């Protein structure tokens, strides 16, 4: 297993972690000052500054992407919605390619309308079928663009609103169905927050193997979690065995970065510098 | 599939649903007035009134138990804690037998101390091993008392604090390991709130079969859930496909009650009569 204690070469910052403190160009500058060499930006953050400007800034700073967030949200209530989702995913792929991202992270979506409080239907099996179809259709464009898709299983507490892919096993079943040859075009993003509880986690990481493991996201699960979405913990502040899980990924061949992605009202309320400094410290000490 | 629309013979009330409105003896009286024939009480509610008195009241009212809540919480930080947990489970079995319960529901526990904010250790695999050992040890007493144990997998968002058994598959694996002969001494409680999201739910219910399906708990998953513990919805107010899931249980041979278990600050704030009336209505219309 790689030793992270001596430096933070393997650290990536998912820029949602500090999205309330600064614009993306400011975040990139702050990362560059700390010799953070990788980020994973969100589309809205890129759009707010401009794709061309961000791409130029990244090149000038020598900062690379560990991923691009996000594609997905395939299920829809009607054909127009399904078509719009596919178009949006093609745009996301093109943006990811323009930024030199190694993959597009897919938060696949679930019951249409659920995020705004009213589901168009309740049948999660329908949503799962629409996700399978959506990924299959999107994969064609992704292959042409040579831009791999990383399915991110989300915690079951997000199953109604954000993702009907909720275990690594389920994500890998989709990969095997749509890319049985393990071409490198389709894989998974393993976020410890979403999967740490899974009794089959070790076995499914081994099953994934190097060919399917496109991203590794870290944060922590806090005891007494107060919110289903925005109460994630800084690495080391909760109960996830980060090094053990990283060990499983590395045993399967993963050699990529550990990407910090923390949705937290607490951490969004702290100064950008403090958050990045803490991420570096914890990356070296507990990841 | 049974028709629930004409009456509420198959309705059971888990008395935690109205635990803030009344004492257990008052709840039993209120159920009797509405011809609710089954309840599932919690130990603290029984203790607050007295086991003998509750047993006599139930006999007089002709109300039976659909289960008894709860045993479990096996993991501990040291041997004294493990021993105390086993002793407490034996007492729970004896109480359940005295009340004529068909089973003792097990919320198995997880990281010791996590419920009070400080985990004695982080390794959930250790907790799972302690749970397996604890159920095995408890099963001896359960067999002697002829009191079946029902393992309840809890939602993964409860994995740190309340239960390290988080899928029906995992619960059934434990059943198969400890009771391979399907003697009737060990099975599962299927609570839709905990398992509705599981892509393997239908297959695992079929796997369980009549011999393992000891209890069926209903409520609903609300869009925009605000709390990990106490924001469950009344049946019909959320997105769980209750009738579909009940159909899967019945196809596997289940013929027992549908037990309403709602932890909800909203429903605890309403009058006891209103809650019970609504449970009856929804049992007939959407369960």
- In this prediction, residue B284 carries a pLDDT of 98
- In the numeric block, which tokens belong to residue A251? 């045993």
- Residue B50 — very low, low, confident or very high, per pLDDT cuts 50/70/90? very high
For residue A191, what is the domain's CATH number? 3.20.20.150
pLDDT confidence tier of residue B116, bands split at 50, 70 and 90 = very high
pLDDT value at position A153?
Answer: 98
Helix, strand, or coil (residue A233): strand
Q: B154 CB near a chain A CB, below 8 Å?
A: no
> Quick check: is A3 in a domain?
no
Average pLDDT over all residues of chain A: 98
Q: Write out the E strands in A44-147.
A: 64-65, 68-72, 104-107
- The ipTM estimated for the assembled molecules is 0.97
**pLDDT-derived band of residue A261, with 50, 70 and 90 as boundaries?**
very high
Query: Are residues B223 and A119, on separate chains, in Cβ contact within 8 Å?
Result: yes
Give the helix/strand (H/E) hosting B268.
Answer: helix B265-268
- Average pLDDT score, chain B: 98
pLDDT digits (tens, 9 = 90+) for A228-240: 999 999 999 999 9
Strand partners for A179: none
Helix, coil or strand: residue A5? coil
Instruction: Tell me the average pLDDT across A140-157.
Output: 98
Domain total for chain B? Answer: 1
Give the C-alpha separation, B100 to B74, whole Å.
24
What confidence tier does B106 reach under pLDDT thresholds 50, 70, 90? very high
| B159 to A240: CB separation less than 8 angstroms, yes or no | no
Beta bridge partners of A107: A72
- In this structure, is residue B175 part of a structural domain? yes
Supply the pLDDT for residue A262.
Answer: 98
pLDDT band at B227; cut points 50, 70, 90: very high
Interface test with A, best of B151, B223, B233 (most A CBs within 10 A): B223
The band of B111, judged by pLDDT with boundaries at 50, 70 and 90, is very high
Q: What's the pLDDT band for B75 if we cut at 50, 70, 90?
A: very high
- Residue A200, phi then psi, degrees to nearest 5: -100, 10
A168-191 tens-digit pLDDT? 999 999 999 999 999 999 999 999
Q: Do A223 and B160 touch (CB under 8 A)?
A: yes
For the stretch A37-95, pLDDT in tens is 999 999 999 999 999 999 999 999 999 999 999 999 999 999 999 999 999 999 999 99
Whether B91 is covered by a domain: the verdict is: yes
Q: Chain B: give the shortest CA distance to residue A200, in Å.
A: 9
Which pLDDT band holds residue B161 (cuts at 50, 70, 90)? Answer: very high
DSSP string, A7-18: --TTEEEEGGGG
| Structural domain contains residue B2 | no
Query: Domain residues for B47?
Result: 11-285
The predicted pLDDT at position B196 comes to 98
* A225/B contact by beta carbon, under 8 A: yes
Q: Which of residues 111-130 of A touch B (CB under 8 A)?
A: 111, 114, 117-119, 122-124, 128
Name which of B124, B202, B244 to mutate to probe chain A: the one with the most chain A Cβ atoms within 10 A of its Cβ.
Answer: B124
Cβ–Cβ below 8 Å for A223 and B117: yes
Residue A23 is predicted with a pLDDT of: 98
Q: How far apart are CA A190 and CA A242, in angstroms?
A: 12
Nearest to B128 among A199, A238, A241 (CB): A199
Q: Please give the residue of chain A at the shortest CA–CA distance from B236.
A: A122
List, for residues A116-133, the tens digit of each pLDDT value: 999 999 999 999 999 999
Whether chain B has a CB inside 8 Å of the CB on A243: the answer is: no
Please report which confidence band the pLDDT of residue B60 belongs to, taking 50, 70 and 90 as the band edges.
Answer: very high
Range 75-104 of B in CB contact (< 8 A) with A: none
Residue B4 inside a domain? The answer is no
The per-residue pLDDT for A71 is 98
Q: Is B197 on the interface with A (CB under 8 A)?
A: yes
Banded pLDDT at B154 (limits 50, 70, 90): very high
Q: Give mean pLDDT, residues B218-230.
A: 98
Q: If 0-12 CB within 10 Å is exposed, 13-18 middle and 19+ buried, where does residue B6 land?
A: exposed
Confidence of residue B71 (pLDDT cuts 50, 70, 90): very high
Cα–Cα distance for residue pair A88/A106, rounded to 1 Å: 12
The answer to the question of residue A249 being in a domain is yes
Gap between the Cα atoms of A83 and A106, Å rounded: 17
pLDDT band at B112 (very low <50, low <70, confident <90, very high): very high
> Could you read off the pLDDT of A5-22 as tens digits, one per residue?
999 999 999 999 999 999
Whether residue B234 is contained in a domain is answered as yes
CA B285/CA B8 separation, integer angstroms: 10
C-alpha A205/C-alpha A254 separation (Å) is 10
Q: Which of B111, B199, B241 sits opposite A239 (nearest CB)?
A: B111
Residue B225, pLDDT score: 98
Q: In chain A, whose CA is at the least distance from the CA of B113? A: A223
Tokens (6 digits) for A285? 């000490």
């Amino acid at each position: 297993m790689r030793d992270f204690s001596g430096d933070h070469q393997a650290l990536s910052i998912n820029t949602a972690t500090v999205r309330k403190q600064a614009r993306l160009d400011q975040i990139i500058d702050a990362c560059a000052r700390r010799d953070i060499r990788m980020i994973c930006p969100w589309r809205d953050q890129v759009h707010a500054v401009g794709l061309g400007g961000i791409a130029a800034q990244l090149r000038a700073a020598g900062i690379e992407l560990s991923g691009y967030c996000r594609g997905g949200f395939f299920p829809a209530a009607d054909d127009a919605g399904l078509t719009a989702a596919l178009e949006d995913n093609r745009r996301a792929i093109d943006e990811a390619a323009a930024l030199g991202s190694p993959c597009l992270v897919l938060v696949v979506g679930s019951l249409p309308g659920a995020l705004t409080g009213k589901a168009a239907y309740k049948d999660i099996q329908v949503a799962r079928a629409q996700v399978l179809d959506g990924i299959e259709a999107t994969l064609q464009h992704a292959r042409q663009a040579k831009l791999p898709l990383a399915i991110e299983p989300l915690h079951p507490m997000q199953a109604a609103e954000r993702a009907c892919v909720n275990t690594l096993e389920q994500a890998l079943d989709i990969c095997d169905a749509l890319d049985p040859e393990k071409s490198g075009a389709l894989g998974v993003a393993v976020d410890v927050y979403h999967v740490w509880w899974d009794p089959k986690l070790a076995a499914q990481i081994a099953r994934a193997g190097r060919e399917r493991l496109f991203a590794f996201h870290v944060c922590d699960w806090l005891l007494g979690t107060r919110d289903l979405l925005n109460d994630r913990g800084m690495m080391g502040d909760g109960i996830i065995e980060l090094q053990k899980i990283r060990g499983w990924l590395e045993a399967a061949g993963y050699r990529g970065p550990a990407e910090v992605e923390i949705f937290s009202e607490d951490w969004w309320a702290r100064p950008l510098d403090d958050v990045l400094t803490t991420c570096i410290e914890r990356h070296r000490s507990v990841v």
